[in-house]
Structure 1
Amino acid sequence: MADRISTLTDVSVGYDVILCDVWGVLHDGISAFPLAAEALAKARTKGATVVLITNSPRPYPGVVSQLRMIGVPDDAYDRIVTSGDVTRHLIAEGPKKVFLLGPERDLPLLDGLGVEVVGEADATCVVCTGFYDDETETPEDYRDMLMRLRDRNVPMICANPDLVVERGHKIIPCAGAMAALYVELGGESRIAGKPHRPIYEAAIAEAREARGDFDLSRVMAIGDGMPTDVRGAINYGLDLLYISGGIHVREYSVDGRIDDAALDAYLRREGAAPKWWMPRLA
């Protein structure tokens, strides 16, 4: 069983670098979690370098703006690495006629990459950033489109590997769910964000640029998503602080409270072994 801790300070003093998830740990898509930001800011005053590592399909400047708008202060972190940042490398290396599957606000992801934005019928690559309307749609609404793309062997580059996020108190599907259906249908999906290595390598590189060299044993990861944050950190060999009050909380809640035994059983079923856990970062 992972050890329950009360505050990040209980364990952060043993680490040089903290790689912290954003959505579900620092905010819920609508409001910031002030205690989480304060915890990271305090860790920085104790000498830790904090790199936010997020599956947002936006390049990092867009996430900086979003965090400020939501109310996460700049002193909570040193650097940000996004799935969008590392996905740009995949897009640049791929076919040049790109169909953007996602809202128009994500078009800046393609800027400066030498690609031509085209419609579905002319695409030699599809870049999926999400849904046109994630409040009402599911991947099944796109099944016919995905089958047409599959039939033409069009590869999909998924810019946000998250399956779902919690926006306020509502579960919202993400591009990762679209990519999962595409693979189920026989299509090809390429992903660089969590839980895959490229985003962790980029985050470690940013941390080294910020503070100099360090050993990976001195790096802690923080996250709430089992298929992304947890799998990614553990596969990369990092110590993990699991935030249990995030998107999986219904798996181990009893009468509205987290049940220690149910949480332990859930982690065992998932084959996950975080070093510590706490309901919310504080």
Structure 2
Amino acid sequence: MTLDDLDPHYTTILCDVWGVLHGGGALFPGVRERLERWTGEGRRVVLVTNAPRPAERVERALLSKGLARESFHAVTSSGEAGIRALTDPVRPVGFLGTDEDRADLEVRGVRMVDTGWTELAAAGLNEWHHSVDDYEAAMHDWLDRDVLFHCLNPDRVVVHLGERFVCPGALADRYEAMGGRVAWYGKPHLPIYDTALALAGNPPRDTVVMVGDSLRNDMAGAIAQGFAAIFVQGGIHAGEPFPEDFGEEHGAPGWRPLMCVETL
């Protein structure tokens, strides 16, 4: 089976962005045409990303790369979910990530402070410390102060222009293992799927396909939500076959994606 043969029963496509549509640079070859074909077939396409930034910024970036606006119906992001949580109610929070990510959150009403915070908005690792071990001392301090770690990007790694980088999810894993409190946003956690399905018009779950390159986020999330899936093997698991026991390990013996493809 190929992508051209996708059963018309699947009327909603939830599609990952990073690793599926692009890898930090230009759109991958064929992406624009594939999404246009799906929307042309009458399917609803919602882009679902663990980017720690507002959905509108994700959309602007994709349009600037040449993705046609008519090729998808909506975008939602883990950052969007995190912003809602951090502004309801507004309260002072610390920040971890780049200056650009901080500006994105502040313009949406997140109140950032440098001292006296007991909640931390983690959009990324900072520009000078790129490994989990770099934050060991800080995490012990957070534990002592019972800091709630808001993980706005639950990815553990990302491949950017061919190079692998650690993401906040890896830091959240370590902090949680130490006994720290973590609030997770994005795939594979429930809130982002509720938002995505609402944007798609609340279709029956058996008509939904999750397209993604992450086993831990996209494929495990599909199982948990009762979706079918398409596994894109050219992303963070490049060169790896789909694990034979993946369904069994996630409580769904025999489950497999509808197909495994290198790219769209």
Query: Does residue 101 of structure 2 align to residue 106 of structure 1?
Result: yes
Query: Does residue 146 of structure 2 align to residue 153 of structure 1?
Result: yes
Greater mean deviation of Cα atoms: 28-37 or 171-180: 28-37
- The equivalent position to 2:221 in structure 1, one of 219, 227, 232, is 232
Query: Does residue 33 of structure 2 align to residue 38 of structure 1?
Result: yes
TM-superposed deviation, 1:54: 0.3
The whole-number CA distance in structure 1 between the counterparts of 2:108 and 2:23 is 31
8 Å contact kept, 2:83–2:108: no
- Alignment correspondent of 1:277: 259
Q: 1:170 to 1:266 in 2, by over 3 A?
A: farther
8 Å contact kept, 1:241–1:274: no
Report matched runs for 1:19-168 at 5 Å.
Answer: 19-93=14-88, 96-107=91-102, 108-113=104-109, 115-119=110-114, 121-133=115-127, 137-168=130-161
8 Å contact kept, 2:96–2:123: yes
8 Å contact kept, 2:205–2:225: no
- Alignment correspondent of 1:257: none
- Alignment correspondent of 1:244: 233
The whole-number CA distance in structure 1 between the counterparts of 2:89 and 2:225 is 26
Unaligned runs of 5+ in 1: 253-262
Q: What is the root-mean-square deviation of aligned Cα atoms in Å?
A: 2.1
TM-superposed deviation, 1:138: 0.8
Deviations 1:7-49 (A, max 9, x none): x231152222110000011001122113122111101001001
The whole-number CA distance in structure 1 between the counterparts of 2:142 and 2:212 is 33
SS in 1 for 2:244: helix
- The equivalent position to 1:215 in structure 2, one of 204, 223, 232, is 204
SS in 2 for 1:72: coil
| TM value normalised by structure 2 | 0.90
| TM value normalised by structure 1 | 0.85
AA paired with 2:124?
G
Deviations 1:126-149 (A, max 9, x none): 000011138x61111111112111
TM-superposed deviation, 1:218: 1.3
8 Å contact kept, 2:97–2:125: yes
AA paired with 2:173?
A
The whole-number CA distance in structure 1 between the counterparts of 2:184 and 2:243 is 30
SS in 2 for 1:41: helix
- Alignment correspondent of 1:265: 244
SS in 1 for 2:220: helix
| More helix per residue | 1
- Alignment correspondent of 1:205: 198
SS in 1 for 2:62: helix
The whole-number CA distance in structure 2 between the counterparts of 1:247 and 1:157 is 24
- Alignment correspondent of 2:181: 188
Q: Percent identity?
A: 32
The whole-number CA distance in structure 1 between the counterparts of 2:70 and 2:111 is 38
- Alignment correspondent of 2:162: 169
8 Å contact kept, 2:233–2:240: no
